[in-house]
Amino acid sequence: MISWNIHCDTNCSLCSAALETREHLFFKYDFSLNVWRQILKILKIQRQVYSCDQEIMIAAQMCGKKEVVAQIYGMCFTEFLYAIWLERNARRFQHKEKDWMQVYREILDRVSCRATEAQRLLLIM
Ligand SMILES: [Zn+2]
């Protein structure tokens, strides 16, 4: 929006302490980092959180695979992005705030509801 000369608040809606870029919002700010780290942990994926572009590339590769873990990864990644965006909008427009663990649990609930029995087993084992 800034590149189109549309006036808007450029501060991060989650922390108000940085420029609100997709990199910061989804993969650099502690709130989002904690949520994504916890998701990787439950999927038993041991690695650091990478840059936004790298995370998107990994998710795209996973979504092209047929393994159950890859399917659940894609679902978690999609729900993660959506949940962070909802939290961003709730804070910006409704002045409502959740903690990261609550957002994480809501992501798992939504993924569990959509998952098959085989996919759900990955989340609870
Ligand atoms: Zn921030």
Q: Please, what is the average pLDDT of the chain? A: 93
Q: How far apart are CA 30 and CA 21, in angstroms?
A: 14
Provide the b/e sequence for 92-103 (b: ≥16 CB within 10 Å).
eeeeeebebeeb
Examine the pLDDT at 123 and tell me if it is beyond 90: no
How close is the Cα of 65 to the center of ligand 1, in Å?
A: 33
The DSSP code for 17 is S
Examine the pLDDT at 37 and tell me if it is beyond 90: yes
State the pLDDT at residue 7.
78
Q: Are 119 and 75 in contact (CB under 8 A)?
A: yes
State the pLDDT at residue 5.
81
- Return the structure tokens found at 103: 């957002």
Residues with a beta carbon under 5 angstroms from ion ligand 1? 12, 14-15, 18, 29
Q: How confident is the model at residue 3 (pLDDT cuts 50, 70, 90)?
A: confident
Number of domains in the chain: 1
Q: 69: domain range?
A: 2-124
Of 2-6, 21-25, 83-87, least confident by mean pLDDT is 2-6
How close is the Cα of 17 to the center of ligand 1, in Å?
A: 6
